[in-house]
Amino acid sequence: MSGAILTQGLRSPMRRLAGLRQAKSISKSVVHNETILVKNNNEFINKVMNNDKPVIVNFHAEWCEPCKILTPKLKELIEPLHNLDLAVVDVEDNAELVHAFEVKAVPAVIAIKNGLIVDKFIGLVDADMINNLIDRMSGKKKEDA
């Protein structure tokens, strides 16, 4: 397996998230075909960390050229699946989440299952790596396969 996927031991960012100040605005989630467009910290906790399904979180920016390739590809691959959600986080609007998840570059993709980070990669990776992550997270492929 390529070194582009940085697998760390299961760990929960809840301690760091707990330190985030309460969001001042209340907004409703924008959910479109299993894609969660994260607007604030509370929404992230409710829709991602407390989700019954695994979630692939895509940290992106409008100015990021590789993001313009990866984000639509992730939507295309994940939206048809009923057992996996995609959350999109704009790094410009969610600085506290960027800090909590130690995002140093975009695009950054973090896989979360049962409130734990189970996998991640940074940058535009090849299609096989993206497909393997989606297959593992959606249960199509065993995690050690």
The reply to whether 11 belongs to the active site is: no
> Residue 52 in contact with residue 41, Cβ under 8 Å?
no
Residue type, 141: K
Q: Which of 64, 122, 124, 129 is catalytic?
A: 64
Cα dist from 19 to 16, 41, 73, 89, 97, whole Å: 5, 11, 33, 19, 11
Compute and round to an integer the Cα radius of gyration of the chain: 14
Question: Is 64 a catalytic site residue?
Answer: yes
Q: Which among 49, 56, 67, 117 is annotated as catalytic? A: 67
Those residues whose C-beta lies under 8 Å from the C-beta of residue 82, and which sit 6 or more positions away, are 34
| Catalytic positions | 64, 67
